[in-house]
Amino acid sequence: MTTLRLLTALLLLSLVSNVSARTPLVPAPPAIRATAYLLIDANSGRVLAEKNSMERVEPASLTKLMTAWVVFNEIRNGTVSLDETTRVSKKAWKMKGSRMFIEVGKEVKIRDLLLGMIVQSGNDASVALAEHIAGGEDAFAQLMNQHAKVLGMNGSHFVNATGWPDENHYTTAHDLAILTRALIREFPEYYAWYSIKEFTYNNIRQSNRNRLLWLDERVDGVKTGHTESAGFCLVTSAKQDDMRLISVVLGTDSEDARVEMSRKLLNYGFRFFESFKLYQAGTPLTEMRIWKGEEEMLPLGLDKDLYITLPRGQRGKLDASMSVEPEILAPAFKGRGYGTVEVRLGEEVITTQPLVALKDIPEGGLWQRFTDSILLWFN
């Protein structure tokens, strides 16, 4: 009887081991002591862990991510340059809280103000930038809200460039992840500044408040925030191999806690998930007959790279299928959708993306249109 029980136990253990080998297990996210948090893959946008990510919170100095976004856009549009200077106003000079210690009436380069805001979290630098871009902080806040709307940050509203507490100044963990993801994608050359550990201005050297830059070699940004009412906050991005994660931790009770909670989320994401490029933008995935055009075949593909994030070991179980319009008539226009690509993991739909034309195909000549009309009639 004892031998039979032992054999039965060994058989059950073997079955469990085989199932585990086929289906890697993913535990629930670790316990995170924060008012709200969010962990996403930066490339695919997939949410890996979250709590209260859509609830309004006070952003504190995380606001400066949006301040930087507005300035970076102005530089890209050619309305501002890094080497031009601005005169420091009395309002900027008098700002309380974290500062880069600019002096009233002095000319300061935009480059230095950006570094003072990014590395030293300078409230004085943020106001000086806002005044230079829009003439005043109120007008600059309008720009911030306009950009937030374009980005899809529907849970955010800004009234200043610093994150100084105000009941009408708020955001969400979800929105901060959207903003950070866009900043990394659109401005990689400026995002690199968020990894700078020290900056010296006016003979005053200050360290970046993001301690994870020293503690975790995977981390290369992004921003800290703290007020009494907001608690200790941290938006972090880290890269391991080809996978980049973004974590947002809001409302912890100490500087140590925001570091510890952020590391927990990053470790969880890198340990149990993987991210990879499934399809490259602009690569033909199929060709379809196009009627009445100068050419007979229309290449279809994706207009942006398609990244997939999965639990580790599940890549071989992916299944992709395409659905295409049954009858495509010229003219065809590059970027126009003519179907969809659906990617599934078992019964779960991972993503659905538009299948678009990869080139323009104008209408064919009179004879081509006539003969194709006859063929279509028979079909």
User: Does the annotation mark 321 as catalytic?
Assistant: no
Q: Which residue has the tokens 């004892």?
A: 2
Q: How far apart are CA 254 and CA 74, in angstroms?
A: 35
Cα–Cα distance measured from residue 163 to residue 123, given in angstroms and rounded to the nearest whole number: 9
**Phi, psi angle pair for 63, to nearest 5°:** -55, -35
* CA atoms of 354 and 331, how far apart (whole Å): 19
Alpha carbon dihedral 16, 18, 21, 24, in 10-degree steps, equals: -40
Can you tell me the distance from the alpha carbon of 199 to that of 213, in angstroms, rounded to the nearest whole number? 14
CB 158 within 8 A of CB 138: no
Please name the residue ranges forming H helices in 253-332.
255-272
231-240 and 219-227 strand pairing? antiparallel
DSSP assigned state of 195: G
64 carries an active-site annotation: yes
Question: What separation, in Å, do the N-terminal and C-terminal C-alpha atoms of the chain show?
Answer: 73
Evaluated on CA atoms 29, 30, 31, 34, the torsion sign reads negative
Q: Closest by alpha carbon to 98, among 124, 136, 78?
A: 124
Q: H or E segment at 353?
A: strand 348-357
Per the annotation, the verdict on 197 as an active-site residue is no
| H or E stretch at 147 | helix 137-151
The active-site residue, picked from 44, 64, 247, 275, is 64
106 contacts: CB under 8 Å, gap ≥ 6: 87, 88
Could you say which of 44, 53, 61, 126 is catalytic?
A: 61
Sign of the dihedral through C-alpha 299, 305, 311, 315: positive
Contact 139, 215 (CB under 8 A): no
The catalytically annotated residue of 89, 121, 126, 275 is 121
Active site residues: 61, 64, 121
